[in-house]
Structure 1
Amino acid sequence: MVEFLNTEGASYKLNQLIKNADHEIILISPFLKINQKIKDLIENQDRKRTTDIKIIYGKNELQPDENNWIKQLVSVRLAFCKDLHAKCYLSEKEAIITSMNLYEYSQVNNYEMGIYASKDDDPSLYQEVYNEAMDIFRISDELKITIEKVESKADKKVEPKVEPKQKHVSAKMNDNKTKTETGFCVRCQDQIKLDPMYPYCKKCFTSWNKYKNEEYKEKYCHICGKPTESSKIKPICYNCYKKHKNDFNFPL
């Protein structure tokens, strides 16, 4: 059952959503200016190292404080969506669609409205909201944050520098082996970012998304790119799974 939220209700439900999440949080808001209470809740989740936190924003107004804060979080994935106007907040079991932004002024001074849905009470509605949120994340540019300190005569300023995250680079594993961040679309074999949770290129994902059959048989392994019987829910071959089962998150 959908629940109507006023300003106070939206603020309370958002805090509870972040606090009670078990393994996934998605925060979609045009303005990346987060109030201290929500920052504290996100930091608590980040310390667990078990929660995937995605933050999507749409206005290029990152302040130094926000950059420094995000930089020290391990579990946060930041993405920029140029035409974003939606405000939507999800965990793996709850969803809020609202007019309220993440900064304190909205939650204290504005008159906001929204709706709340839980996966248990309305799984169909929750899934629609979740799918749309993930579509927005997939078409967004995932970013990494670096900080440049610039000194002036008057004082020291911190200027944020936002760079697109490189899609085809190498990263070192703990055992000094090298793994690549280049993967393959399980349907067309085009090179894409390596992420077993999202094993399609944009074109093939659009096609798959029409029916959303996670067991639909695909043609290639997402990690090695070799022909194999794969699917959205099992995107890699058995050999790659044995080799990388501790390196990535997998659908199953």
Structure 2
Amino acid sequence: MSKFLTGKDLDDAICDIIWDTERTLLIVSPYIKLDDYFKKLFDKHENNPKIHLILVFGKNERAVKKSLSKADFDYFKKFLNVSIIYVPNLHAKYYGNEKKGVITSINLYDYSFINNIEFGVFREQSIMDNFTKSADKDAWDKCIDIAETNDVVFIKRPVFENKKMIINLGKSYVKSDILFDSTDKFYGYRRKRNEEDKRLSDFPDELELGSVFSERPARESEKRKQNDFGYCIRSGEKIKFNPKQPMSRNSWKIWNEYGNEDFPENYCHKTGKKSNGKTSMRKPIL
């Protein structure tokens, strides 16, 4: 059941979401500024590779440090399993973990928590949420979609060693590797020419000890095509190339009424060729 919160109740709910996270902590906030209290909450998870911290921030495209200072950005880089994404037109705010979430007006900004009048709608998940729709689940899904379709700034992933013996002993954490870091692009340095944007889908959730993370190389002509455009798998119209969102806005609105990722579609997202039902949201490219 959803609850309207404001004042200290809203403050406590957001702090509990950060503190109680066990698997995924999703924070969407255009402006982020941490005081010592917030850092103490986050510090609980500093050495836990099982928690994936997904941080989405935005605004101030010409001066990103006004939205997230370099000091706070460097603070988040110390976590063992973290994704930082930048969205220039972000205005929404959301805080959630695997158990609960808040759709709210408040930024993760110390001044806002202390001085502003802010509202939020809080919901704690239940077993029934697996069978019914809820505003919080829709908010979570939308925020994940935003994270997956915008520029990655920083990615660090945990490396595990699998204990392969007669019996399965699971896996143990070894270290964390930085897979992507475009700090210079966002904090005052000139962007390199032809530098490619990266998305969350370009990176694994974790690494196995001994493996080497690498992307399959593509020809320059193929890179240009992917960076320029693709095709809506339902209507065939030209859109931005993005396998995570291979539909035009209008087509997606119709598809989203049922959300069947295996529903057969009409076109290949990459080439625009007719697919005769062999493409889908799950498999948009022939």
> TM-score scaled by structure 2?
0.58
Partners of 1:34 and 1:102 within 8 A in 2: yes
Equivalent residue, structure 2, for 1:93: 99
Measured in 2, the distance between the counterparts of 1:96 and 1:165 equals: 33
- Report the CA distance between 1:119 and its aligned residue: 1.6
Residue 153 of structure 2: aligned partner: 143
Counterpart Cα distance in 2 of 1:66 and 1:179: 29
Q: Deviations over 1:44-78 (max 9, x none)?
A: 22411111111111122232311321222232211
CA positional deviation for 1:211: 2.8
What is the alpha-carbon distance in structure 2 between the residues aligned to residue 51 and residue 45 of structure 1? 7
Question: 1:27, CA displacement in angstroms?
Answer: 0.5
**Highest Rg: 1 or 2?**
2
- Aligned counterparts of 1:94 and 1:43: Cα–Cα separation in 2: 20
SS in 1 for 2:153: strand
Q: Is the 8 A contact 2:152 2:198 kept in 1?
A: no
- Aligned match of 2:215: 180
Q: What is the Cα-based RMSD across aligned positions, in Å?
A: 4.0
- Pick one of 130, 138, 143 that aligns with 1:133: 143
Equivalent runs, 1:151-190 vs 2, <5 Å: 167=198, 174-175=209-210, 177=212, 179-180=214-215
Provide, for residues 120-140 of structure 1, a one-character-per-residue CA deviation record: whole Å limited to 9, x for no partner.
Answer: 187322221111111221232
Amino acid aligned to 2:246: K
1:118–1:216 distance in 2 versus 1, CA, 3 Å: farther
**TM-score of the two chains, using structure 1 as the length reference:** 0.65
Matched, 1:201 2:224: no
Q: Which runs of 5+ in 2 are unaligned?
A: 155-180, 219-224, 228-241, 266-277
Residues 16 and 131 (structure 1 numbering): CA distance in 2 closer, same or farther, change over 3 Å? same
Asked if the contact 2:52–2:81 (Cα under 8 Å) also holds between the matched residues in 1, the reply is: yes
Secondary structure of 1:143 counterpart: strand
1:167 and 1:182 in contact (8 A); partners too: no
Distance in 2 between residues matched to 1:170 and 1:119, nearest whole Å: 28
Amino acid at match of 1:135: D
Greater mean alpha carbon deviation, residues 29-38 or residues 115-124 = 115-124
Q: Cα distance, 1:230 vs. partner?
A: 11
Is contact 2:151–2:198 with CA below 8 Å preserved after alignment? no
The share of aligned pairs that are identical, in percent, is 23
Equivalenced residue count is: 206
Write the distance in 1 (CA, Å) between the matches of 2:128 and 2:33.
31
* Deviation (angstroms), 1:15: 0.9
Say which SS state the counterpart of residue 72 (structure 2) adopts: helix
**CA contact under 8 A between 2:95 and 2:103: conserved in structure 1?**
yes
Distance of 1:205 and 1:24 partners within structure 2: 29
Aligned partner of 2:13 in structure 1 is 13
Farther-moved stretch of structure 1 (3-12 vs 166-175):
166-175
Query: Which sits farther off after the overlay, 169-178 or 16-25?
Result: 169-178
Uncovered stretches (5+) of structure 1, i.e. residues with no partner: 149-158, 184-189, 193-198, 219-228, 235-252
